[in-house]
Chains A and B, each alone.
Chain A
């Protein structure tokens, strides 16, 4: 089973700043199989990025994904107040989906 480790656990930034979230896999992951989700309190996760770098429908272009192999990154170019939430990465492999433990993005 591929384990995803996200860092940092908590990221404290101000609106307008740039956020960089990391997701590291215990073994190589096909870029096609890597996704990112945003979750706000009391809500279901929302798909942001699929295929490591493709934005889901309706996702603003300030969200971008990159990476390959074992290292993947979610970047939010200029933080808006509504972006403060928890972010999860997810991979698919061998008919199994696994998630990272999450990064909490909080207002500084």
Chain B
């Protein structure tokens, strides 16, 4: 089974850029799947951020589109998230996931990112 692992700084300053990486193991990022980022503020619901295909094609949530970049590194079998101009409202657990058809089948364990000075 595919396993995903998020990594990156747990603390980001306001107005800075949040950068996370998702390492994929047990499968190839060049398989016929899209790969997503999802976040969950503490005690709240889930918000889909965006997705990427192996060829670099992306789709983003319109509510975040102006601040989000998702990229893929096939040589390292991983994909990444950059979220710019962060505020306290971006504090959340960030998950990476593997899309199946129209649902998210495999998830990383999640990583908490806090936006604070």
Q: Which A residues are within 8 Å of any B CB, using their own CB?
A: 1, 32-33, 35, 37, 43-47, 50-51, 56, 88, 90, 92, 95-102
Q: Which B residues are within 8 Å of any A CB, using their own CB?
A: 36, 38, 45-48, 59, 61-62, 95, 100-105, 107-110
- Given A33-B102, A35-B102, A99-B107 contact (CB < 8 Å): no
A101 B45 Cβ-Cβ under 8 A: yes
A47 B45 Cβ-Cβ under 8 A: no
Number of A-B contacts (CB under 8 A): 56
A44 B46 Cβ-Cβ under 8 A: no
CA distance A101 to B102 in the complex (A): 19
B101 A32 Cβ-Cβ under 8 A: yes
Contacts of B95 in A (CB 8 A): 44-45
A96 B62 Cβ-Cβ under 8 A: yes
A96 B61 Cβ-Cβ under 8 A: yes
B46 A99 Cβ-Cβ under 8 A: yes
